Amino acid sequence: MSIIKVSISDAKVANHPHRLRTTGLGSCVGIVLYDNQRKMAGMAHIMLPESTMARRGDLNLHKYADTAIEYVYEELITKGMKKQAMKAMIAGGAQMFQSKSANEMMRIGPRNVEAVKKELSSRGIPLVAEDTGGTNGRTIEFDIGSSELSVKTVAKGAKTLR
């Protein structure tokens, strides 16, 4: 078993016996699409909700909820995953910076979570578990064999999502 690291604004696809891990999820959201029968999964570490936020000529597909989910979805389908078998888990989306103003631009974490849920829903992918919000960063690791997502939250400990 090896751990495949998914960096910030990155996405990877793998099969059992590998695990997928990403660290530094503050306002970012870690997304896992998986099929527990085929033992396949993909993970993306998104920073922002929509690719329309990209500066001209600076489109990293893995940085945005809409394009990263599309990328992982297409990669898994290409590798033989059936759309009907696909499930999702997410973690992250913390409100890292407390602001006295209700400025929508400062709500990056909650906006990321909303965008991810919208993208999953538009593709008919069920969200089976999530650990989102709060004010603390997270590290996640997905075990493709057991379909379990380990979530370690700064100053809060660890939990397992199934």
* pLDDT of 100 strictly over 60: no
Element (H, E) at 106: none
Q: Is the pLDDT of residue 102 over 60?
A: no
Q: What domains can be seen in the chain, in order of their start residue?
A: 3-161 (3.30.1330.200)
131 and 151 Cβ atoms separated by less than 8 Å? yes
pLDDT, averaged across the chain: 93
Entry pTM? 0.94
- The residues, ordered by sequence, that sit 6+ positions from 80 with a Cβ below 8 Å of its Cβ are 38, 40
CA nearest 131: which of 104, 113, 107? 113
Residue 113: φ, ψ to 5°: -60, -45
Which of 6, 13, 20, 28 is the catalytic position?
Answer: 28
pLDDT of residue 104: 60
Which of 94, 55, 52, 88 minimizes the C-alpha distance to 69? 88
Q: What is the pLDDT of residues 131-152, one digit of tens each?
A: 999 999 999 999 999 999 999 9
Residue 17 among the catalytic residues = no
Is the pLDDT at 55 greater than 90, yes or no? no
- Per-residue confidence band for 21, with pLDDT thresholds at 50, 70 and 90: very high
Residue 51: both structure tokens together: 């690719």
